[in-house]
Amino acid sequence: MTHTAATPDTGLRSAVHAWVDGWARARGTDAPQAVPGGFRIEVRRPGHLARHVLPEAEPAVLRDLVATLTTPGLWIKACAPREVVEPLLTADWEISEPQYLMTTDRLAASRSGAGLPSGYRLEIVDEGGEVFEARVHAVGGPGAGAGAGSCSGSGTGSGTGSGSGSGSSTGSGGAEGRGPVLAASGRAALTTGAPGSSPAPYAPSVVFDMIGTEPAHQRRGLGRAVMAALAGRAVERGARQGVLVASPDGRALYEAMGWRLRSPVTAAGRMG
């Protein structure tokens, strides 16, 4: 059976443009560069050297990338389901778990109704105005002192599934009582596509990234609290649209918060 990728609407192209701009800022990489069919971001990390992000799975573009991207650690992310992308790949490429591009124009609503349970404290760390991080620490009460470790964007708990070879935040302290334990965290980056910018202008946006909750602290509303705190800060600074790429678990949380699914995303990495 032959699958033909539909031409994405302008809104989807704009959402992808906003996402790659914000993702690069949140991760501290080079700015994305427009290339045929989409964008390229130089990531320069082990196992994740660079990524091509495509608003659609255009067969000619994908075949060209598969033929020319021969170095292990290169990634392709296409806004299309797996059954569209997989037939265009060779055996050297491995597809990761499903991901989902999502947006919301209800950021103000996203920042309400997400209080912390007893025994947790939330802080926002500002990294120069355009990038900020929300951290929830367990400081007492149920679960305090348990589950110290990494909190990454790999889709754990409420996570955004946007990181292949991504960085992580590490909790301080542990069961021995060395201090507060990082229970949940997430990052956000503000970005604005000026009218007429190429290839797709977009409204002032905030891109959410690496939203994660430690296993010992899940199902306590911490992911929702992180999102609410980040959304509140973003609204204060002029953001009108939220954008993220979610893991399967994260998708359920964001849909419950009123986010809109824009497209499935298939991520494939070039193996060694």
The residues facing 102 across adjacent strands are: 244, 261
Listed in sequence order, the residues at least 6 apart from 92 whose beta carbon sits closer than 8 Å to its beta carbon are 70, 270, 271
Residue 18, pLDDT score:
96
Residue 129, pLDDT score:
81
pTM comes to 0.84
CATH of 107-263, picked from 1.20.190.20, 3.40.630.30, 3.40.190.10, 3.40.50.300, is: 3.40.630.30
Q: Beta 241-246 vs 99-104: how paired, if at all? A: antiparallel
The residues facing 263 across adjacent strands are: 101
Residue 198, pLDDT score:
55
Domain boundaries, the chain: 10-99, 107-263
Could you tell me if 97 and 265 are in contact, meaning their C-beta atoms sit under 8 angstroms apart?
no
Helical spans, DSSP H, in 28-106:
59-68, 82-85
Residue 98, pLDDT score:
97
pLDDT tens string, the chain, 272 residues long: the values are: 444 444 456 689 999 999 999 999 999 999 999 999 999 999 999 999 999 999 999 999 999 999 999 999 999 999 999 999 999 999 999 999 999 999 999 998 766 656 899 999 999 999 988 999 999 999 975 555 443 333 333 333 445 655 443 333 334 444 445 578 999 999 999 998 755 455 567 889 999 999 999 999 999 999 999 999 999 999 999 999 999 999 999 999 899 999 999 999 999 999 98
Residue 25, pLDDT score:
96
